[in-house]
Amino acid sequence: MGHLKIIAELWGFELDAPDARTGVQRLAARLLQSEAVQEMLETLPLAPHSALQVLSQNDGRLPWPAFTRRFGVLREMGPARRDRERPFSNASASPAEALWYRGLVAHDFFDTPEGPEEFAFVPGDLLNMLPVGGRQQYPPIGRPATPAERAFPILADDSLLDDACTLLAALRIGMPKEGFEDTLLCGTQTPFPLTPIPLKLLLASMGLLDKKGVPLSEPTRQFLEAERGEALRSLAGVWMRSTVFDELRMLPGLVAEGQWQNDPLRARHGVLDFLSTVEGNLALRDDPSERPYWSLPSFISTIRQNYADFQRPAGDYDSWFIRDQESGEFLRGFEHWDAVDGALVRFIIGGPLHWLGVLDLAAPEAPTPERLAPVTAFRFSAWANDLLSLKAPQKLSAEMEGLKVASDGRLRVPRRFPRALRYQLARFCLWEGFSQDVYRYRLSPASLERARQQGLKVHHLLAIMRRATSAVPPSLIKALEGWETYGSQARLERLLVLRLKDPQVLVALRSSRAARFLGDPLGPTAVAVKPGAWEKVLSILAEMGYLADAEES
């Protein structure tokens, strides 16, 4: 009854009832009058009024931890202390307390897909009477970027497709990742350079790899032969739906420990919902001025203030064991939000959404080889609306450039060369790197033998090269055909050579126990020495009475 009388007092009338059950009925009848509701709203202080409006805009309820974190705690006190201190009538009352003691907000447990969670809520019959109603899940989050924040633009592109081709070819020939990971294009100007690990995971999620991580022939062929816009759309769609592509566990510098589980889809879709409030997210816009840059620090700060629990069930900041790799500290509690949840928002924007061509980025200065400039702004790319709608974006550059083949067996493959053909060529070649928008490969007996073991023939290679260029050197064709018939006809190798002044010394040496350390003869006074055996040969020569010098190198 004491609490009911406080509510009645704050609404401006005296409650007369013999017991609490009757008091509830009489109080509810008085509160659910439009004139009384209007008067209460007119006298409600600004801070509680804003809290009530936020609740109304979110279907009348918010998770209790998020509500109290934003609008203050509800101090627990018994009736005697409550009546003595009257927390509802002094300046120390939080917005949450102001609403609680007016009966405008209650808290209870509701069922959710993640299980029961505690919520602050406006009673449904009262919610229908509030003029502040009307669903607006997310008002604009953050603010436009300042000139300093957008000083150095980093435009999104479709180079993820070229990286995927490079990685698929490397996986197909069993090439170790150390041979090519530093040449991947995506993310070279962002704080989160793309590595083969998440790209491989993305390709696996598309069904392109078998259980051993080797590309499957038919799905890979279809992906590489698809138009670039369609291929990019398929990658974006897989990322949006993937439950195994877990950005939280990819955050640089953080280590997840224990058996706890997070929901990457919930987090990813939460960030996409936040982005839907940013200017320039609607319709395809070729004019960059219609797609303004947005401040990333402000965007993250607003999420922290208003929607901090976007990936945390029931606002739980204690059960996830995430350790800072450098300090070893476990980042538990809301005080570490920026290092975990804020870092996740930054990663999704500066990582997958940029790699996939959805967001352009900007930094306050140009990156250098020594230092990657931090991303401070972003905007939607011209392809964003299509990709976020899972449509193939238009106006991607066609794969029309030609192959360059040198007579020494070196191949120069431009970025806009058909990906399916580059994948096939790569299976015959040694990888030599990427620079200035050109992939460099070299034919060798070893690479040709590897291709042959995978069922490929030289005439397959020649057919691809003739299809891609009309300038295949005749000498290279002859060399390839000769290798297929006779194998390697020349070999370049490093040798350790022993040279003697007298041919008889070589004859004597070959008759001694040093014979097993000697290789092919190179003339009457020279012979090859097997690797690692030179000290033994020198020792045996000394025993035979011949001192020998050795070049220090």
In a domain, 303, yes or no: yes
Tell me: do 335 and 453 sit in the same domain: no
In a domain, 398, yes or no: no
In a domain, 143, yes or no: no
Six token digits for residue 71 = 């609008």
In a domain, 210, yes or no: yes
Tell me: do 227 and 372 sit in the same domain: yes
Tell me: do 371 and 222 sit in the same domain: yes
In a domain, 552, yes or no: no
Tell me: do 235 and 343 sit in the same domain: yes
Query: What is the number of alpha carbons within 13 Å of residue 105 lying toward its C-beta?
Result: 33
Tell me: do 100 and 9 sit in the same domain: yes
Tell me: do 90 and 158 sit in the same domain: no
In a domain, 188, yes or no: yes
Distance CA 416, CA 430 (A): 20
Question: Is there a contact between 550 and 538 (Cβ–Cβ < 8 Å)?
Answer: yes
- Per-residue confidence (pLDDT) for residue 116, from 0 to 100: 86
Give the domain-ending residue among 127, 161, 185: 127
Query: Domain span at residue 441?
Result: 404-486
| DSSP structural state of residue 250 | G
Tell me: do 171 and 203 sit in the same domain: yes
Give the domain-ending residue among 332, 355, 388: 388
Kindly report the backbone phi and psi dihedral angles of residue 488, in degrees, each rounded to the nearest multiple of 5, phi listed first.
-65, 130
Reported pTM: 0.72
Give the count of domains, the chain: 4
| DSSP structural state of residue 414 | E
Tell me: do 118 and 159 sit in the same domain: no
Tell me: do 112 and 188 sit in the same domain: no
Tell me: do 110 and 162 sit in the same domain: no
Distance CA 331, CA 253 (A): 12
In a domain, 176, yes or no: yes
Distance CA 56, CA 37 (A): 14
Please state whether beta strands 117-121 and 152-154 pair in parallel, antiparallel, or not at all (unpaired): unpaired
- Per-residue confidence (pLDDT) for residue 49, from 0 to 100: 84
What is the amino acid identity at position 226? A
Tell me: do 317 and 204 sit in the same domain: yes
Give the domain-ending residue among 112, 127, 142: 127
Question: Is there a contact between 185 and 389 (Cβ–Cβ < 8 Å)?
Answer: no
Encode the chain (553 residues) as per-residue pLDDT tens digits: 888 888 888 888 888 888 989 989 988 888 888 888 888 888 888 788 888 888 887 888 888 888 888 888 888 888 888 888 888 776 678 888 889 989 999 999 998 877 788 899 999 888 888 865 444 445 678 999 999 999 999 999 999 999 999 999 999 988 765 545 544 554 444 444 444 457 888 999 999 999 998 999 999 999 999 999 999 999 999 999 998 889 999 898 999 999 999 999 989 998 998 998 887 765 445 666 678 999 999 999 999 988 888 898 778 899 999 999 999 999 999 999 999 999 999 999 998 999 899 999 999 998 776 777 789 999 999 999 899 888 999 888 889 999 999 999 999 999 999 999 999 999 999 988 888 889 999 998 889 999 999 899 999 999 999 999 888 999 999 989 888 776 655 666 788 899 988 889 888 888 898 888 998 888 999 999 988 888 888 888 888 888 887 775 6
Spell out the residues 6+ positions from residue 161 whose beta carbon is closer than 8 angstroms to its own. 228, 231, 232, 235, 419
Query: Helices 217-225 and 228-241 sit at what angle, rounded to 10 degrees?
Result: 120
Spell out the residues 6+ positions from residue 179 whose beta carbon is closer than 8 angstroms to its own. 170, 431
Question: Is there a contact between 468 and 436 (Cβ–Cβ < 8 Å)?
Answer: no
Tell me: do 211 and 312 sit in the same domain: yes
In a domain, 553, yes or no: no
What is the amino acid identity at position 61? R
